[in-house]
Amino acid sequence: KANGSGSYSFIDKDPDHGRNFYRLKQQDLNNVTSYSKTEEVKYFNHDDDKLHIYPNPAAHMINLDLSAKIDGREQYDIQVSNCYGFIVRQATSSQTNWQTNISNLRPGTYLVRVLGKRDRNLIGQAKFVKL
């Protein structure tokens, strides 16, 4: 309901992970209904995900953000594999943020896996789309 101030708010208590689309529906005193322009809101719950890749999809660069703590590990291995499972890029890092140029990769879907350097345990994985 309108409160007369021209401001409206709504909290989606269970948004989908990733892209969400919202619009306002208004009904005037004559029962005429109109809709606002649809707006996109991206939602990423870093408490649920151990890593986040952005932008996604991407054409030139991707950024990897490890939002969860790495359990005191000093280094971790990053593997980027194509849809056939072939590793097309590898790196070792001790930072929770990592960036790489993907301009030379073919368009398609890729999987990024982050492993602990010492024990090879999987810290997290995420997919991205190369345009």
DSSP string, 52-91: EEESSSBSSEEEEEE-S--TT-S-EEEEEE-TTS-EEEEE
Looking at the DSSP bridge assignments, the partners of residue 66 are: 51
Per DSSP, the residues of 8-20 read -----SSPPSEEE
pTM beyond cutoff 0.85 = no
Give the per-residue pLDDT at 10.
75
What pLDDT was estimated at residue 38?
93
Cα–Cα distance, 71 to 116 (Å, whole number): 9
pLDDT per residue over 95-117, tens digit each?
888 999 999 999 999 999 998 88
CA distance 129 to 108: 6
